[in-house]
Structure 1
Amino acid sequence: MADKILVTTTEHIPGHEYEIISEVFGLTTQSKNIARNIGAGLKSLAGGEIHAYTDLLTEARDVAIERLRENAVALGADAVVMMRFDSDSITDGMETIAAYGTAVKFK
């Protein structure tokens, strides 16, 4: 059911009127295993993209959006507007991602 929730970064959804329900969030903290962290550290010496960290952020983003959708479903929402991300490094190789927006119900 959560995968059916429309999530958009825009304020308005063309062709839809809606009422605001509440703010919604999806949070996650992710880390990679020690072997990948060592490999990433060696890669940082040479420069270029560190794929282990790119994968880490992609996975964390996907989990945060899924949790945002689940939060919206629990509130009876039809969509989430004005979705944004926030992120922070807790330690090397550990990232926290927050997806947040406004849950709305179509009229």
Structure 2
Amino acid sequence: MANIEEYGGGQHTPDVLVVTTNDVPGHRVERVIGEVFGLTVRSRNIGTQLGAGLKSLAGGELRGLTKTLVQSRNEAMDRLIEQARSRGGNAVLAMRFDVSEAGNGAEICAYGTAAVITPVTGGS
């Protein structure tokens, strides 16, 4: 059985919160910094492509391609977070992924809105 970490993503940076929502419950948006993105372009590995071609004849998951896509998404996310951090943000709101063909590979872009958020304290 494969290690789930090889096939999963997720955030591991506590100083920059990334969410797919427009706001964060219990927090106030103090300042919107603007659009940020992280981009990576990956070429196809000929061995993986051949294996995927053979696997597609029998059906089932293309694990080599899945692993490559997960690694690419994580790399795009790391770049997104670094851009938000370097511009003074501690959050990225409305984060999305976009994947498209780029020649002999795939372009993976993570994008969203960098912001400074603070916890709402006290009262109602």
TM-score by length of 2: 0.77
CA distance in 2, matches of 1:24, 1:90: 21
**Residue type of the alignment partner of 1:46:** A
Please tell me the root mean square deviation across aligned C-alpha atoms, in Å.
1.7
Structure number with greater Rg is 2
CA-CA distance at 1:34 after TM superposition: 1.7
Paired residues, number: 105
Question: Which structure is higher in helix share?
Answer: 1
Structure 2 unaligned regions, length at least 5? 1-11, 119-124
Give percent identity, aligned residues only: 47
Q: Tell me which of 34, 39, 46 is aligned to 2:46.
A: 34
CA distance in 1, matches of 2:91, 2:85: 9
What is the DSSP-based 3-state SS (H/G/I as helix, E as strand, rest coil) of the residue aligned with 2:36?
strand
Runs of 4+ more than 4 Å apart: none
Higher relative contact order (CA 8 A, sep 6+): 1
TM-score by length of 1: 0.89
Map 1:50-69 to 2 at 5 A.
Answer: 50-69=62-81
Q: Tell me which of 7, 11, 14 is aligned to 2:22.
A: 11
